[in-house]
Each structure stands twice: as C-alpha cells, then as structure tokens.
Structure 1
Amino acid sequence: MRGMTMKLTIGERVAWYRRRRGLSQEVLAGLVGRTADWLGKIENNRIELDRLSVIKSLADVLDVALGDLLAEPSLVEWTADSGMETVPALRTALMEYRAITALGTSGQDAEPPDLDDLRKQTARLWDLYQASRFGAVTGKLPDLLRQAQAAVDHLDGREQEQARNLLGLTYQLAATQLTKLGETDLAWIAADRGLAAVRPVGNPAITGSLFRSVSHALLSTGRYQDAVRLTTDAADYLDQHLTDAGPELLSVYGTLLLAGSMAAARSNDPGTVRTFLNTADETAARLGTDANHLWTAFGPTNVAIHRVATAGELGNVQVAIDLGPRVDTSALPMERRVRHALEVSRAYSSWNRQDEALSVLLDAELMAPEQVRHHFLGRQLALTWVRQQKGKPSSDLVGLARRLHVLD
C-alpha cells in the first residue's frame, strides 16, 4: 500500500476501510463511542482528524494497523544524500544472520574497524539525523551497522565494551530513523538488537537511551499503554543510578519521561502526563540548561515543547495555542525545531487560523523538507486544507501539497 493512498486524507481512508469492512457510519461511530454525524464530518474532511488516540481507536475497530490510516510507511526519495539504496538496504543489514548467530564471522577480515573512526562516524550520523537529513542517515546506516558489528566481533575486553556501546547507539539511531519513516516493524527489530548489544556492558545511560527507542517503537504502533508502562519500569531501573548522575544520564532519564508523556497523552491519561512532565521539568532544572548529551536535545526547552505536544494530543488546543508560539526553539537541533513547528501548525489549524498554520508549516518545510514530508501531520494538514477550500486553493498551499506528494 506504500504510496497508494498518499492522496487521501485520514478521514477518506477511514471511509475506504469502513466500506471494505461492510460497516455503516452509524455502526462504526457507535463502536468508537461517537455519533454518525461526527464520523460523516470526519470522512468528508469537515473535521480534522489529527489526534492519534482517536485515529488508533478507529484503526482498532477497523482491524487495520495505525500506519494504514496514516499512509505509512512513506517512500524515501533518492537524493544525492541517500543514494539509490535506502530502506531495503537497511532492512538487509538488520536481518544479517551473523548479528544474532555469530556464525560465519571467522572468515571476516582480521583487522577490526578503528574505534575512534567508528565514534566519529556514529556522531556524524546522529548529527545528520538531528539536522533532519533523513535520506543521508538511511543511506549510510547499513555500512555503519556492519562496521560496528565487526568491531564487537573482533575486539575483546574494554575495547569490546566500547564497541558494544557504539553498536547500541547505531541501532538506536536506526530505530529512531525508521520510526520517522513509519517502518514500525523494522524499528522494533533495531531497538531489540540495540538492547541485546549493550546488555553485557551495563552502562545505565546507554541502556536508558535504548529504552527510549523501544518507547518510540511502541508509540509508532499505537501501543500507548505499553509505552507508559515501559516508561515507568525504565525510570524505576534508572532511579538507582540518579543520586550521582552526570549530565548524560540525567538527559537520558529526562528524555525518557518526555516520550512517556506523549504515550500518556495518546492514552488520554492527563494525570500521568502531568507526572511525567513535572519530573522531567525537575530533571531539566537539575541539568541546568538546554544540552544535547547523547543526542537527546534535553533541557527546559524540550520539556516546554512536550507540554505543547501533549496538550495537542489531549485536545487542549487553547494551551497549545497559548504556549506553542512563545517557545523559542532556535538553539535546539533542527529535528526538534521542526517537530515543534508541526505542533504549532496543528494548533493554529484546530483553531481555524489556517493562514497562520500554513505560514508555520511553510517555514518548517523550508528548514527541513524531508522531515515535513515524512510526518503524517505535515501531509494531512496540507491535504485537508486543500479539501476544505470552497474556492481555488492558494498557490502556496497547492505548491506545498504537491511537494509533499499528496496532490498531483
């Protein structure tokens, strides 16, 4: 189905699957606790359907994956950054049997990769991810995974521990990137591989960072309550190390709570959202400033970003409108800045301030076109605005919709 329904809004996909299941609007609406009038407006694009908790409830009743309604996964375009081998090459690397069986490693080159060079390559790819250059990351990850695995296979002692940590961080990046692309099953495999790689080392910061990738994988498949439980369990695991925690562990701990706050919001659990956000806020105060330890971009500003995002997921548009535009994200990595811009655009759109919403989305696209194209919010906002126009859509809106591949 990849790319086949990109030109349908989420509401139109709901209608398509509803008819395939032989359900009337009255029956489907009743099964999700809504009215037929509400569902009719959703299917006819008179109401925007952008809250993932509501979309997931419809997906569950229709017996389809969350990604089926979001039109995910999305196709990675060939660029100078990505080359002509993208997700399929990464899938092959993740399904390399030597990584889980240790068979066939004896015939490999005797010289392992240089650890310093491996560190630099790992850092470079994480920096590219935070710069929202998703094609470059996807294209370069397979080779880095193979090099990191080779280092683990050939080294021993302290050097092998370092190699395992680097392999774990590379798998985490793969899981994070694949989640952005909607490749949920592959993201889960990458998160699992990463935890297996670092488990023998026992570094709480690296292990906690991998827990975050598991949380993101759960979120991407709509397993929101599981992600909340994981956050609680992982926080309990990390608590024992927090007394004398350094900035890396504090950042990992805080970012894990932020991921948990999104899971709680999508579970319609505002009490747990507040608990996670308040603890993350205390952790950010302890850290003292915005930072980017282990590529977490954690600090007071990221907490504020998540206050806006969770408000949007809970349907508290007034909070998102009041706080969102006032958050200064200019010092954060591009990925964080654009993700926040998507939330602000969504809030403006929900408030029927489409001109401001479009302006924010256009600015975000200018900064990071790949990220806007691969996020369901960017695609669906643009397409829904086109559908809702009574007259001819503006050239800016039509141009955006075409660049996002949701309009011919």
Structure 2
Amino acid sequence: MTTNLTIGERVAWYRRRRGMSQEVLAGLVGRTVDWLSKAENNRLELDRLSVIKSLADALDVSLGDLLAEPTLMDWTQDSGNRTVPALRSALMNYRQLTPLLGLPTEGEPTQLGELRSSVTEVMDAYQASRYGFATRRLPLLLADALIAAQAYEGTDREQANELLALTYQSAAMVLGKVGEVDLAWIAADRGLGAAQQSGNPAVTGSLFRSVAHCLLTTGRFDAAVQLVGDAADYLRPGRTGASLDFLSIYGTLFLAGSMAGARADDRSTVREFLAEADRAARMLGRDANYMWTAFGPTNVDIHRVATAAELGDMQVAIDLGPQVDTSSLPTERRTRHNIEVARALSAHNRIDDALAMILEAESWAPEQVRSHYLARELVLTWVRNHRDRPSQAMAGLADRLHVV
C-alpha cells in the first residue's frame, strides 16, 4: 500500500475490501460509527497502537498493513545501492545455519578483536540512526561472525557466539526500525540462540530485549509483556553483585516491557515495570550506555512520556516531555523522544510546536524520522487537514518523508 494514505484511510480501504460496513467494524472494536467515520476521514488521529491493532485484528490484516510498513530505504552515500535485500539474503543463507550438512566454512575466521570492533561500529551506527550504513555493513559482518562461531573452540567460541548474538541483535534493531518486522524476528530469534551459547547472561538478556521489541512491532503486546516477565525471572538472581552491563540490560528490559504494557492498555503493568526500571536506574546512579542501552534515569523518564502517550494520557506527556533533557543521550533516543512529544502536542492541536519537534528530530536523524510510522502519520495528517496551503516547512518535510 502506498505511503500517501493515512492510517484511517487504510482502515477504510481494507474495510471496503472486506465488504464490511462501518457499523460492523465499529461494533467489532467497541466504538461508535461516528468515531470510525471520523478516524477514516482524518478528523480523529489514530495514534495509539493498541487502537490500531484492534482495527487490524477486526480486519484480519497485520499491524504493518495499516502502518504501511516497510518503507523503502533510500540510497545514500552511507548505504550504497544494496540495502535490505542484501541483508535478507545474508539471513537466509542456509549454508551458514548448521554444520549438520557437512558444508565447509567459507574462509578463515576473523580475529576476535577485529570482529568486536566491527560489531561496535555497527551498533554505534544504529544509535546514531545511520541505518543505511549499518544495513550495508551487516551482511559481511554476519558472515564473518558465523564463520568465527563455527571455527573457534573453547572460550574463544564463547566470545565468538557473543559477537554473533550482538550482530544478530544489531540486524534485528535496524530491520525493526525500517519496518522489516519479519526479518527482524528471524534475526532476534537466531541471536538469542547464539547468546545462550556464549554463556554471557548480559548478552542473553540483551537478546531477550530484542525479541520483546520484535513482539511489539508485530502487535503481540501481551506476549511481549509475558516475555519480559519470564526473562526478568530468569535474570533476577544475577542482580546481586551484577556488572554495570548486566544492570543496564536488566533495567532496559523493563523499559521495553513498559511499552508493551502500555500498548496492551495495561496500566498496572506499566507502573510495575517502570518502577522496576527506576530501581535499576537508581542503582546504576547515572545515565550511561553500557551494552548500547542508553540506560539511566533519563531513559526511564523518556519511557514515562512514551507510555503516557500510548495510554492516551496526552496531557501527562505534554507536561513531562519538554522537561526531559535528552542532550546527553544517543541520537536514536533523542529522536524517538521528540516524536513522542510531537504526538502529544498534535493531539492538543499545537501543530506548529509539534512540527518544530519533528523538524528538530529530522535535523539529527533523517533516516529515523523517515522510517518511523508515527512521524509519517503525523505529517501526512497535518497536510491532509490543513485548510490552506501548508507552510513551506511542512510541505518540505512531507516531501522528504515521501508521504505526498
């Protein structure tokens, strides 16, 4: 489906394809016909994933169908002209999956120090919202990490599996950001298997978080809540005397769980998970970036804003959001926060302020803004509902996001 339809317009399109009246669909999602009509005609913003998911379920389509994902990754100097399809081919290379077929590994294993530097480079690129760069580097890195995990022995093999797990995790994170949720699931699932072979509980916890994010992006909110609870039970005994890596991973897992709880409309779980994350942040004592988590008190505050917006508490998000100083955090976190604040401002019809937040985010991370469904939806809805000609700033942004 083209990206120049709003979510409401896609709901109407699929509803008609199903031969379903507004009365029937509204009844299935527990809403009035007036509400659905306003949503389909862009007079009411569909900005909560829990609501969008209920519509997708009633229409028997995926969440991604209504969000119009994935988006096409633009060719840039960072990405070159081989992007997601090359990474898909790498993930589906059966020769790399198992030694049972007796196929020889392709080439000599990369030195672990060199491999670790490459993993760091890609994970740093993700946090800098340079998705094209990370996507271009990942196919070769994945091949190198797989060879190393098969070739090394003993403790070196454990380290190689740790790096393989983190490579899969970086692939899952990037693919999730650009809407390739099925590929992201494959990467996260394989990464969790490699993490368990590494014997490193922090890496295992990190991959649990990636799987939880994949469940979130596919609309399986209750399953994500359950996974976070189960993973926390598995990791909790390790908190005593835990490393800073482990503590950061443990806390960040609950932040992912808080978003799952919000999208499942489960306020008690949101409160519980945010409280647990806050305890871990206070134990850590400051904002940090161990294991690429950007974890600390500020990230907890960011999630207070995001969960409030997901629960429909837009005034809470407006009150808290501008107070959060994200200047010390990685670009990806700062950008995501701006998008959330813009959503809350837009819900209160403060369009100029919301536009300013999106433009600021775009100046930091154009690839991230371009690929985020909420940024695209906000801008497209503003253009649709503008009575006169949109401002030059709004029209230019809409053009850069390819939504008009």
* Alignment TM class, shorter chain as reference: over 0.9
Partner of 2:198, secondary structure, is coil
Alignment partner, residue 130 of structure 2: 133
Alignment partner, residue 261 of structure 2: 264
Alignment partner, residue 104 of structure 2: 106
Alignment partner, residue 393 of structure 2: 396
Aligned alpha-carbon RMSD (Å): 0.9
Alignment partner, residue 76 of structure 1: 73
Alignment partner, residue 42 of structure 1: 39
Q: Which amino acid aligns with 1:363?
A: E
Q: Percent identity?
A: 65
Q: Which amino acid aligns with 1:328?
A: D
1:10-29 → structure 2 map (5 Å cutoff): 10-29=7-26
Q: Distance in 2 between matches of 1:383 and 1:189?
A: 31
Q: Distance in 1 between matches of 2:250 and 2:185?
A: 21
1:146-157 → structure 2 map (5 Å cutoff): 146-157=143-154
Alignment partner, residue 163 of structure 1: 160
Gaps of 5+ in 2: none
Q: 1:107 to 1:34 in 2, by over 3 A?
A: closer
Alignment partner, residue 339 of structure 2: 342
1:52 aligns with 2:49: yes
Give how far 1:198 is off.
2.0
Q: Distance in 1 between matches of 2:289 and 2:70?
A: 28
Q: Which amino acid aligns with 1:178?
A: L
Alignment partner, residue 226 of structure 2: 229
**Count of residues in Structure 1 that have an aligned counterpart in Structure 2:** 403
Q: Deviations over 1:275-329 (max 9, x none)?
A: 0001100100000100000000000000000000000000001110000011000
Give how far 1:202 is off.
2.2
Give how far 1:270 is off.
0.5
Partner of 2:239, secondary structure, is coil
Q: Which amino acid aligns with 2:315?
A: Q
Q: Distance in 2 between matches of 1:317 and 1:34?
A: 20
CA contact (8 A) 1:81 1:136 kept: yes
1:180 aligns with 2:180: no
Q: Deviations over 1:107-132 (max 9, x none)?
A: 532x3101111111100111111000
1:194-273 → structure 2 map (5 Å cutoff): 194-273=191-270
Q: Which amino acid aligns with 1:48?
A: E
Q: Distance in 2 between matches of 1:107 and 1:371?
A: 36
Q: TM-score, normalised on structure 1? A: 0.98
Out of 397, 400, 405, the position equivalent to 2:402 is: 405
Q: Which amino acid aligns with 1:353?
A: R
Q: Which amino acid aligns with 2:236?
A: D
Out of 278, 286, 291, the position equivalent to 1:294 is: 291
Q: Which amino acid aligns with 2:245?
A: E
Q: Deviations over 1:182-221 (max 9, x none)?
A: 1111111101111111212321100000000100110000
Q: Distance in 2 between matches of 1:382 and 1:115?
A: 45
Q: Which amino acid aligns with 1:30?
A: G
Q: Distance in 2 between matches of 1:135 and 1:107?
A: 28
Partner of 2:238, secondary structure, is coil
Alignment partner, residue 312 of structure 2: 315
CA contact (8 A) 2:2 2:68 kept: yes
Q: 1:390 to 1:108 in 2, by over 3 A?
A: closer
CA contact (8 A) 1:105 1:153 kept: no
Q: Distance in 1 between matches of 2:396 and 2:106?
A: 51
Give how far 1:181 is off.
1.0
Q: Distance in 2 between matches of 1:219 and 1:172?
A: 15
Q: Distance in 2 between matches of 1:95 and 1:55?
A: 31
1:30 aligns with 2:36: no
Q: 1:242 to 1:107 in 2, by over 3 A?
A: closer
Give how far 1:104 is off.
5.3
Q: Which amino acid aligns with 2:79?
A: S
Q: Distance in 2 between matches of 1:160 and 1:121?
A: 17
Gaps of 5+ in 1: none
Give how far 1:100 is off.
2.3
CA contact (8 A) 2:160 2:198 kept: no
Alignment partner, residue 359 of structure 2: 362
Alignment partner, residue 331 of structure 1: 328
Q: Distance in 2 between matches of 1:204 and 1:15?
A: 47
CA contact (8 A) 1:265 1:310 kept: yes
Partner of 2:78, secondary structure, is coil
Q: TM-score, normalised on structure 2? A: 0.98
Q: Which amino acid aligns with 2:322?
A: P
1:283 aligns with 2:258: no
